[in-house]
Amino acid sequence: MTAAQNWFESDPLWFKTAIFYEIHLRGFYDGTGDGHGDFRGLTEKLDYLQWLGVDVIWLLPMYPSPLRDGGYDIADFYGVHPDYGTMDDVRAFIEAAHERGIRVIADLVMNHTSNEHEWFQEARSSPDSPKRDWYVWTDDPTMYEDARIIFIDSETSNWTWDDKAGAYYWHRFFHHQPDLNYDNPEVREAMLDVLRFWLEAGLDGFRLDAVPYLYERHGTNCENLDETHTFLKEVRATVDDEYPDRVLLAEANQWPADVVEYFGEGDECHMAFHFPVMPRMFMALRREEAAPILEILAQTPHIPANCQWGLFLRNHDELTLEMVTDEERDYMYEEYAKDPRMKINLGIRRRLAPLMDGGRDEIELLHAMLFSLPGSPVLYYGDEIAMGDNVYLGDRDGVRTPMQWTGDRNGGFSRADFAQLYAPPLMDPVYGYQAVNVEAQLRTPSSLLRWLRRFIALRKEHPVFGLGSFEAIATTNPKIFACIRTYEDDVVLCVHNLARSAQAVELDLSWYNGRYPIEMFGRTRFPKIGELPYLLTLAPRGFFWFRIEEDDDERA
Amino acid sequence: MSVPDQITEPLEDWLTQQRWFASKAREVASAKILERVPLSDAPALEIDILEARFHAGTHELYQLLPGEPEGVRVLARLFGTQTATDCVAFHGGLEPTGHVRSMGAEQSNSSIVFGEQQVLKVFRRIEPGINPELEMLRFLSTRDFENIATLTGWYDYTGDLMQATLGILQEFIGEARDGWQLALDDPLGLLHRLPELGTATGRMHSVLASDAADPAFAPEEPSAEALALLTATIDEQIERAFLDLPDDPVLAPIAGRGEEVRDRLQLMSHVGVGGRIIRHHGDYHLGQTMLRDAGWIILDFEGEPARSLRERRRKRSPLRDIAGMLRSFAYAASASEVLRGVPAPEGWEERARKAFLDAYLGAVEPTLLPAGQGAIDKLLAIFELEKAVYELHYELNNRPDWVPIPVAGIARLLDVEVTS
């Protein structure tokens, strides 16, 4: 039995009620004073994360890498980047996290490696190299031409010529990220060994990056192929068999009907991100109507009972607009990316707070809607204090600036000289570290940070949000997003006002005739539910969460 | 033999009547035996793990103990043989013998005394991880800390569900009086012995902080946010406690003063971070101490049973224990009046505080505490406030007669001058 299990009760569904927190290690806290965040620094901040109510830390890739794609270009699967520390630091961190009841998952890129990975170096060295067939080569760069190009801003083809190899190699992402050849059983076995190595080190699971692209087949778009699912099922069976209670979280930026394939029959990935619902929450807010959210939820198929959606507002990438129509995309750009610098690929590279123009009510409302949906919320570091972004940094680095801990030098992120920092901390008057930091918000009872902690605690008191059924309630007012969540005897009603103005709404709650809504924050009892429509009035961008309490007479 | 077979009523009803059942305020939706662990064939003996599920979908696990005295005697024998099954192992080697009797008046555990020599403490609610009581006693025993009852054995579970400590076997302290009774019976006599208790407590903290090589015990620097996180948490507790404060004359000294208490907390928290965080007793008060001729014995290192096991194992400032003891002096002073109708001697609480604190500060490793008396006082006051707010909530719900004690405690902190 591994050390990890000592701290947790065996529960194959633990991830369904968990709060995830995504961390860019380089930007979180510098424990060694060299200008980069690292494992020692992160370990020092575990008390903060425990206080906040975080159940799972999701780490962006921490492996050795030339860092031409934020570490998603892995040069060695069996180590950590020296900037972040040593394997001993990783193990100490995982143990310290487990002691606090926090699990740890990490990004793992299965689709490709860095071109600096020794596998690729061997493969390109000669057509006879035993590693040659670990990658995908061709003499004909028109092969698989139905596969789209993902990084349209920087790549012109999925094939790149390699002089040394004398052939083209296949890559779905940057040209310095050659795709592994999953038709080769050696590659599949090598990747299973990588998983074993990290699970043995104590990791509680993986976020599997870019899983739809593992295989290539003629005449297809080379995404979501059957072969991919077969391999992922093999991964799942291996993990279940050798390391119970771990989680596989698929990153498949696809439509819900395609994404659910990654759950299999509950025998593939435990979790997958629900990408399309995210931009629609932003759209619903701007349009002041619930329809975009309701539509996408209606299109979302049921998933196996032992699976869960990962839900998020923002992450380390751009706010992706791949899963919207052209018209919707134009609308989103118009509303949320007024400066062209804010656009990247098919998305918007901004953080939550600036997207909301710093509006506290809007930020709270989005969290309320996120927390009310069926799934496990994934928070992005810094968004809990309403950190801003820096659109003048390249690629997606603008949303990966140093965590703002205090109002001191470097925002309390590092004791290194300013010039040594991997990226400048934000210093603008609105979102800069002197205005926005953890220390100040901890001291201010009305801060976003303190509010969010209470809200997280509230959600965690009710497993219904992770385990229960979800039913959107039809309302007379299109500006209201209302839903009922039910699990065992716990019934929760969530009502959100998307409008900038106060709204009234009548809800048909006759099913709960005779019971009382108890507002969950202040524990205030509202009038009894009757046969007639239940009238609620909501403040601009306001929301109510109620527990539907049983009638006293009934209980006695 | 097995317990469930002997229970005739529905398991849910039986469970909620048990003294050790932790969640009496909650309605049990269902209860069932999750696992039966056979320990011995002849005579037949098994331990059962019971799951209580609540309507919100959460659950708790409990250990069911075989009947007394026969079942317990069989269990005792397993310590002697150091039996180990697939998932339960007994450690120790010394079989407790003699007359078997159970100790009354316990809340979260069951204790059985063997021949007035040893006591078996069975943890009823089980959670993953080593129980702090076992961990602390092992640590303190191997470092020759004398003011504890010697650990003689334990048994634990390693199964599909979790790893957990099930119970410990310990020297039974018979001929002694507990500190709480002493405070009521002979308050002035106790005052003379409090310096000894303060010294023993100081030594206990110093010993607990003495091994930098053991990660579970190595003293640590508090993190930069430690005080702010603590203050924010207490601030929330105050807010919640005052949110639904009933309209009762007993609460007059603090009624409507929630914001004032929160402001006071902010003021007290303006103290530089200092000292160390260490493993500590966790639920320290007069009732956890026994006085015998040879000196004080400190008992019950389990921590506050209402907190999660993980929370109880956390390192924190040793002053948290001290605040617990000081609050129990406040309780003792009032209890004399409430329980016996005899007021405590004039100024007793203040004298007790001073006697205990002076000796403690003289004995404890000074680097464990913040630098300077002012900083110590403030941090101590923060912990006392935390306790008093918890007490207020608890007494309002459970013992209305005792509400004046935390009320006085909170009011007292409001009236103390805060120096910067």
- Active-site residue (options: A209, A245, A318, A384): A209
Residue A344, strand partner residues:
A347
* Residue linked to tokens 């003689």: B152
Pairwise CA distance, residues B400 & B388, whole Å: 15
Among left, alpha and beta (phi > 0; psi -120 to 50; other), residue B321 is alpha
Question: What element of type H or E holds A271?
Answer: strand A271-273
Active site residue A245: no
Q: Do the chains contact at B310 and A101, CB–CB below 8 Å?
A: yes
Topology given in CATH for the domain delimited by B177-415: Aminoglycoside 3'-phosphotransferase; Chain: A, domain 2 (3.90.1200)
**Distance in Å, alpha carbon of B128 to nearest chain A alpha carbon:** 6
CATH ID of A3-110+184-445, from 3.40.50.2000, 3.40.50.150, 3.20.20.80, 3.40.50.20 = 3.20.20.80
Nearest to A308 by CA among A114, A465, A73, A103: A465
What's the pLDDT tens digit per position in B166-217? Answer: 999 999 998 889 999 999 999 999 999 999 999 999 999 999 999 999 999 9
Each residue's pLDDT tens digit, B222-266: 988 989 999 999 999 999 889 878 889 999 999 999 999 999 999
- pLDDT digit string (tens) for B377-411? 999 999 999 999 999 988 998 888 899 999 999 99
Residues 6 or more apart in contact with residue B240 via CB below 8 angstroms: B393
A71-98: per-residue pLDDT in tens? 999 999 999 999 999 999 999 999 999 9
ipTM of predicted complex: 0.90
Q: Give A542's contacts (C-beta < 8 A, 6+ positions apart).
A: A361, A365, A496, A497, A502
* CA–CA–CA angle B65, B69, B75 (5° rounding): 55
Nearest to A100 among B55, B61, B310 (CB): B310
**A101 interaction partners in chain B (CB closer than 8 Å):** 308, 310
Binary contact (B224, A412; C-beta < 8 A): yes
- Asked whether the beta carbons of B268 and B378 are under 8 A apart, the reply is yes
What span, in angstroms and rounded, lies between the C-alpha atoms of B2 and B8?
13
Q: Tell me: the pLDDT tens digits for B47-61?
A: 899 999 988 788 999
Which residues of chain A have a Cβ shorter than 8 Å from any chain B Cβ? Answer: 1, 5-10, 44-45, 47-48, 51, 95, 99-101, 405-406, 412, 438-439, 442-443, 445, 450, 453-454, 461-464, 467-468, 487-490, 522-523
What is the gyration radius of the CA atoms in chain B, in angstroms?
22
Specify the DSSP element, H or E, that contains A502.
none
Residue ranges per domain, chain A?
A: 3-110+184-445, 118-170, 470-555
Average pLDDT along chain B: 90
Check: CB of residue A211 under 8 Å from CB of residue A111. yes
Q: Which residue of B has its CA nearest to A522?
A: B243
Q: How confident is the model at residue B4 (pLDDT cuts 50, 70, 90)?
A: low
Task: Give the one of A8, A406, A488 whose C-beta lies nearest to B55's C-beta.
Answer: A488
Would you say domain A470-555 falls under CATH 2.60.120.380? no
CB contact under 8 A, B128 and A9: yes
CB contact under 8 A, A6 and B313: no
Residue A181 identity (one-letter amino acid): N
Residue where the block lists tokens 């006082």: B377
The CA distance from B46 to B78, in Å, is 12
DSSP secondary structure letter of residue B54 = E
Q: What is the CATH code of the structural domain delimited by A118-170?
A: 3.90.400.10
DSSP tally for chain B: helices H, then strands E: 13, 12
Report chain B residues whose CB lies below 8 A from the CB of A464. Answer: 56-57
Cis peptide before B318 (omega within 30 of 0): no
* pLDDT beyond 90 at B103: no
Contact of B147 with B112, CB cutoff 8 Å: no
- Considering the entire predicted model, what is its pTM? 0.94
CA atoms within 13 A on the CB side of A411: 30
A251 part of the active site: yes
Question: Whose CA is closest to A125, among A112, A115, A140?
Answer: A115
| Amino acid letter, B23 | S
Residue of B nearest to A440 (CA): B228
Handedness of CA A147, A150, A153, A155 (dihedral sign): negative
Helix, strand or coil for residue A226?
Answer: helix
Rounded to the nearest angstrom, the minimum Cα separation between B18 and chain A is: 22
Could you read off the pLDDT of B29-46 as tens digits, one per residue?
999 999 988 888 877 888
Q: How far apart are CA A94 and CA A40, in angstroms?
A: 11
H-helix segments, A7-63 = 25-28, 39-44, 46-52
Chain B: give the shortest CA distance to residue A275, in Å: 28
- The one-digit pLDDT tens for each residue of chain A (556 residues) are 344 467 888 888 999 999 999 999 999 999 999 999 999 999 999 999 999 999 999 999 999 999 999 999 999 999 999 999 999 999 999 999 999 999 999 999 999 999 999 999 999 999 999 999 999 999 999 999 999 999 888 999 999 999 999 999 999 999 999 999 999 999 999 999 999 999 999 999 999 999 999 999 999 999 999 999 999 999 999 999 999 999 999 999 888 888 999 999 999 999 999 999 999 999 999 999 999 999 999 999 999 999 999 999 999 998 999 888 999 999 999 999 989 889 888 899 999 999 999 999 999 999 999 999 999 999 999 999 999 999 999 888 999 999 999 999 999 999 999 999 999 999 999 999 999 999 999 999 999 999 999 999 999 999 999 999 999 998 999 999 999 999 988 999 999 999 999 999 999 999 999 999 999 998 899 999 999 999 999 999 999 999 999 866 544 3
A438/B225 CB distance under 8 A: yes
Catalytic site residue from A251, A268, A317, A383:
A251
For residue A297, which of A373, A368, A398 has the smallest C-alpha distance? A373
CA distance A19 to A458: 12
Residue ranges of chain B that CATH labels 3.90.1200.10: 177-415
Q: Which chain B residues touch A44 with a CB distance below 8 Å?
A: 223-224
- Is the torsion defined by CA of A311, A315, A317, A319 positive or negative? positive
When mean pLDDT is compared across A240-254, B94-108, B322-336, the lowest value belongs to: B94-108
Query: B399 vs chain A: nearest CA distance in angstroms?
Result: 23
pLDDT of residue B187: 95
Q: In terms of DSSP bridges, do strands B45-54 and B28-40 run parallel, antiparallel, or are they unpaired?
A: antiparallel
